[in-house]
Chains A and B, each alone.
Chain A
């Protein structure tokens, strides 16, 4: 695959499409980029958003030659072993034909941040992995782990996603909904539903949290045949009295969820979820998060675009596809001043490095410890607010972890890189030019470029020998991928 000639940035539209793929995906291999350039920008946006047209075949590639390897531990069991679940997810980021679906799954994982450790603490490690990552097709009881739920709703309807998350087994453990019962309400889920999942801090009162907790009483778990845990509305545990809010719950402005019989009480939660999805703070808050994720984290947000995205959100009754289409087709997205204006997440950095450097003989298992050192262990966000994207990723320790991942990948790919670079290694300059093009970094400042070139030249005159190309190609890949410039996408 990697012997195909690099398309080169001279190709019309290639830079914009590279930008699109770094943002709406995890970067692109030279092959992938070629194929997307053939589709053109608009065609690529459609391909990314209307991903149902692309076969969901990535899992069938696991273990096949020509793709990144996985490391089985006596069997590859992503529905039962969280390390294998992490491997599968990184593999999907690198190889999925539906990169935006994968990217939005990561976005929602951060938004509905749920940690495996708490679920495993409640039910044991095998069950913990199951409720985080099992696919219905591989589970004896068709359990759908949270990440599969998020993937299924990746660009679906946000209100439907909220309902699904409220009934998700891992979430019912994570925010303690499983123990929320009449007379002893549990505030955890209701608070975070408003503060983190929808409206945002300072948009509601403490009284709303207390009322919200009562709304979700009885939204618990059951265990059919002792075989698995699943959502169950337990009518006898539902608080049937009326619940009053400080914000409108109903379209007519009504702020009170009426007293209902226990049997009909599940409707309370659906009413509240619809209300927080519709709340005037939710659309702009989601729009800001999407803006930071897809457009820019530098300078002021473009409030016009935020307002447009929020309007599309409300007008489409919370459908995410129109929101993403508007965002990716906006002039702000294509604006060259927004290129290289985001701090890459560790997952983005690692997947892009594999796509651009190469993976033959590399196991995604070897991304997991480095990602953890960079501050992002998948299925283990630090708290209910998720990771802190942006400059927060870049501590000295986190930056060293990125440099060191670049070193280990370059070491592993030494001989593949020599093969790729051989024809471009007439001089240190041509070797550097070849690698800079392949790695889609922004143009380095002259002094940084000189530092790279000085490295390529150091240690003796250029002969272009096999051993020299092996050493310097790997060394340059390490320096480029480990540079500050490469961390910005």
Chain B
């Protein structure tokens, strides 16, 4: 069981105060979009060290030829790097100076378990990855009562990253389905909604599970009218039809309609590429993943640029781990260690941060671990979080993360 009931104290503010609250709680329209690539992204197929002969030696069938990568220059150590050929839109954003690529992000003794790994990245606590998420703890620092739309998960479940002690976060995968239906029309439907709202406001302290479910129902009633405004959003560009791009479109709509959300969560899956990764084939599994990623983010970037909202937006991408360097017998890669993070937005100082691994297996190679099988981290992911909390959200990273991780944080903001 994950978190959840510990959060039965969640309070969704009463609807009457909503617009006042939204106004009072920082008129800055700055927002953060957290993007989770679920399954463990193969960083070496996203950002390719195309001059490293070991990359080709260890990946005889799945390496991306140097001729096809989208070159983005070199890191400080002079390692030439290129993006996956399907990331053309991201390369343009990179060239515009609005994409930061942070290499070898991770932590000591990286977990190879999806679930432990995801919990660690969510809680920012490798030692005891339980309880609230790092952004949940940020929400807990906001002055109470917190507007119930301060955060918005575009998934069906609220991810641990957004689980807070005192703030309930709505899960709104589709704005059109986020409405209250009734078997009868007209005035009876309003009676029904009144009654359901009253039932949902019953929060019995001696029944934490019922209190939790009712608080969730109450949160739905407290948010659905404002969410409905987003259904009328007309985007300035056409987004691809997949769920990821459509979620980003919804987020853009929520920003334009100014519903007051500061933290959005979006995710896209399929990154657990144990077999038939085919990063080169036109319709190969990894090419499709990159195509989805590129299509959604490019449309989102252009839409926000057109709407004048790019400067207020930061997209921060992560995945629970990177993958094994040497390909397996199934033209895929097994679970590994350090991965890559991307940050994109109007306030981002674009560029390549950190140093690429040297893929040569040798006991004295500090960029690898696990007998040279996996990439060793260079940048603690918590220092990236710290930068976001301090420099973007305007909160105190030491209190949210429980320690000072500012030292060595990449200066992408």
Bound state CA distance, A447 and B202, in angstroms?
A: 8
Tell me if B182 and A478 are in contact (CB < 8 A).
yes
Tell me if A390 and B1 are in contact (CB < 8 A).
yes
Question: In the complex, which residues of chain A have a beta carbon less than 8 angstroms from the beta carbon of B214?
Answer: 484
Tell me if A292 and B1 are in contact (CB < 8 A).
yes
Render B309-349 as a binary contact track against A, CB cut-off 8 A, 1 for contact: 00000000000000000001110101100000000000000
- Among B113, B171, B192, the residue within 8 A (CB) of A195 is B113
Contact status of A186 and B274, CB under 8 A, knowing A180-B329, A390-B2, A447-B198: yes
Question: In the complex, which residues of chain B have a beta carbon less than 8 angstroms from the beta carbon of A474?
Answer: 183-184
Is B170 in the interface zone, CB < 8 Å from A? yes
Contact status of A475 and B188, CB under 8 A, knowing A399-B213, A400-B177, A448-B199: yes
Question: In the complex, which residues of chain A have a beta carbon less than 8 angstroms from the beta carbon of B4?
Answer: 390-392, 394
Is B255 in the interface zone, CB < 8 Å from A? no
Tell me if A410 and B275 are in contact (CB < 8 A).
no
- Among B174, B188, B208, B269, the residue within 8 A (CB) of A459 is B188
Stretch at the interface among B51-59, B64-72, B218-226, B390-398: B218-226
For chain B, the bracket of interface size reads: 35 or more
**What DSSP secondary structure best describes chain A's contact surface?**
helix
Tell me if A479 and B192 are in contact (CB < 8 A).
yes
Tell me if A414 and B217 are in contact (CB < 8 A).
no
Question: Whose C-beta in chain A lies nearest to the C-beta of B330?
Answer: A179
CB distance from B325 to the nearest CB of A (A): 14
Tell me if B181 and A408 are in contact (CB < 8 A).
yes
CB distance from A159 to the nearest CB of B (A): 24
CB distance from A324 to the nearest CB of B (A): 21
Is B112 in the interface zone, CB < 8 Å from A? yes
Is A191 in the interface zone, CB < 8 Å from B? yes
Tell me if A179 and B275 are in contact (CB < 8 A).
yes
Bound state CA distance, A407 and B180, in angstroms?
A: 9
Question: Whose C-beta in chain B lies nearest to the C-beta of A414?
Answer: B183
Is B204 in the interface zone, CB < 8 Å from A? yes
Render B368-403 as a binary contact track against A, CB cut-off 8 A, 1 for contact: 001000000000000000000000000000000000
Bound state CA distance, A400 and B221, in angstroms?
A: 9
Bound state CA distance, A306 and B199, in angstroms?
A: 35
Most buried by A among B158, B180, B328: B328
Tell me if B220 and A185 are in contact (CB < 8 A).
no
Question: Whose C-beta in chain B lies nearest to the C-beta of A343?
Answer: B209
Question: In the complex, which residues of chain B have a beta carbon less than 8 angstroms from the beta carbon of A399?
Answer: 213, 216-217, 220
Render A352-378 as a binary contact track against B, CB cut-off 8 A, 1 for contact: 000000000000000000000111000
Tell me if B199 and A403 are in contact (CB < 8 A).
no
Is B93 in the interface zone, CB < 8 Å from A? no
CB distance from A290 to the nearest CB of B (A): 14
Is B178 in the interface zone, CB < 8 Å from A? yes
Tell me if B177 and A373 are in contact (CB < 8 A).
yes
A-B contact count (CB 8 A): 216
Bound state CA distance, A451 and B192, in angstroms?
A: 9
CB distance from A195 to the nearest CB of B (A): 6
Tell me if B177 and A397 are in contact (CB < 8 A).
yes
Question: In the complex, which residues of chain A have a beta carbon less than 8 angstroms from the beta carbon of B192?
Answer: 455, 475, 478-479
Bound state CA distance, A363 and B177, in angstroms?
A: 21
Tell me if B216 and A394 are in contact (CB < 8 A).
yes
Contact status of A201 and B274, CB under 8 A, knowing A482-B196, A483-B196, A484-B199: no
Question: In the complex, which residues of chain B have a beta carbon less than 8 angstroms from the beta carbon of A398?
Answer: 156-157, 171, 216
Is B17 in the interface zone, CB < 8 Å from A? no
Contact status of A298 and B183, CB under 8 A, knowing A373-B156, A396-B219, A400-B224: no
- Among A181, A188, A455, A485, the residue within 8 A (CB) of B195 is A455
CB distance from B278 to the nearest CB of A (A): 12
Is B179 in the interface zone, CB < 8 Å from A? yes
Most buried by B among A341, A397, A448, A452: A397
Is A458 in the interface zone, CB < 8 Å from B? yes
CB distance from A293 to the nearest CB of B (A): 11
- Among A414, A459, A483, the residue within 8 A (CB) of B191 is A459
Bound state CA distance, A403 and B208, in angstroms?
A: 20
Considering only residues 445-488 of chain A, those with a C-beta below 8 Å from chain B are 445, 447-448, 451-452, 454-455, 458-459, 471, 474-475, 477-479, 482-485, 487-488
CB distance from A447 to the nearest CB of B (A): 6
Is B153 in the interface zone, CB < 8 Å from A? yes
**Interface residue tally for chain A (C-beta within 8 Å):** 71
Is B44 in the interface zone, CB < 8 Å from A? no
Is B200 in the interface zone, CB < 8 Å from A? yes
Contact status of A478 and B112, CB under 8 A, knowing A184-B330, A298-B208, A455-B191: no
Tell me if B204 and A445 are in contact (CB < 8 A).
yes
Considering only residues 138-192 of chain B, those with a C-beta below 8 Å from chain A are 153, 156-158, 168, 170-174, 177-184, 187-188, 191-192
Question: In the complex, which residues of chain A have a beta carbon less than 8 angstroms from the beta carbon of B194?
Answer: 451, 454-455
Stretch at the interface among A84-92, A227-235, A380-388: A380-388
Contact status of A396 and B223, CB under 8 A, knowing A385-B115, A391-B5, A479-B195: yes
Contact status of A396 and B216, CB under 8 A, knowing A414-B183, A475-B182: yes
Bound state CA distance, A411 and B172, in angstroms?
A: 25
Tell me if A458 and B191 are in contact (CB < 8 A).
yes
Tell me if A394 and B213 are in contact (CB < 8 A).
yes
- Among A185, A201, A209, the residue within 8 A (CB) of B329 is A185
Question: In the complex, which residues of chain B have a beta carbon less than 8 angstroms from the beta carbon of A488?
Answer: 209-210, 213
Is A297 in the interface zone, CB < 8 Å from B? yes
Question: In the complex, which residues of chain A have a beta carbon less than 8 angstroms from the beta carbon of B406?
Answer: none
Tell me if A186 and B114 are in contact (CB < 8 A).
no
- Among B114, B158, B177, B329, the residue within 8 A (CB) of A384 is B114
Is B38 in the interface zone, CB < 8 Å from A? yes
Bound state CA distance, A186 and B335, in angstroms?
A: 10
Would you give 24 A-B contacts (Cβ < 8 Å), ordered by A? A183-B329, A185-B329, A186-B275, A186-B334, A187-B328, A187-B334, A202-B116, A373-B177, A395-B158, A395-B216, A396-B178, A397-B177, A398-B216, A403-B181, A407-B183, A454-B195, A459-B187, A475-B182, A475-B183, A478-B182, A478-B192, A483-B196, A484-B210, A488-B210
Given contact pairs A400-B177, A447-B198, A479-B195, a sample of 18 additional A-B residue pairs in the complex whose CB atoms are under 8 Å apart: A176-B275, A176-B332, A179-B275, A184-B330, A191-B335, A195-B113, A388-B1, A396-B217, A397-B178, A397-B220, A404-B177, A408-B181, A445-B204, A448-B198, A448-B202, A459-B191, A483-B200, A484-B210
Residues of A within 8 A of B (CB): 175-176, 179-181, 183-188, 191, 195, 201-202, 206, 209, 292, 297-298, 341, 343, 373-375, 383-385, 388-401, 403-404, 407-408, 410-411, 414, 444-445, 447-448, 451-452, 454-455, 458-459, 471, 474-475, 477-479, 482-485, 487-488
- Which 9 residue pairs of A and B lie closest in terms of their CB atoms, listed nearest first? A184-B329, A391-B4, A395-B171, A179-B330, A451-B198, A455-B195, A396-B170, A484-B213, A484-B214
Residues of B within 8 A of A (CB): 1-5, 7, 38-39, 112-116, 153, 156-158, 168, 170-174, 177-184, 187-188, 191-192, 194-196, 198-200, 202, 204, 208-210, 212-214, 216-217, 219-220, 223-224, 269, 272, 274-275, 328-330, 332, 334-335, 370
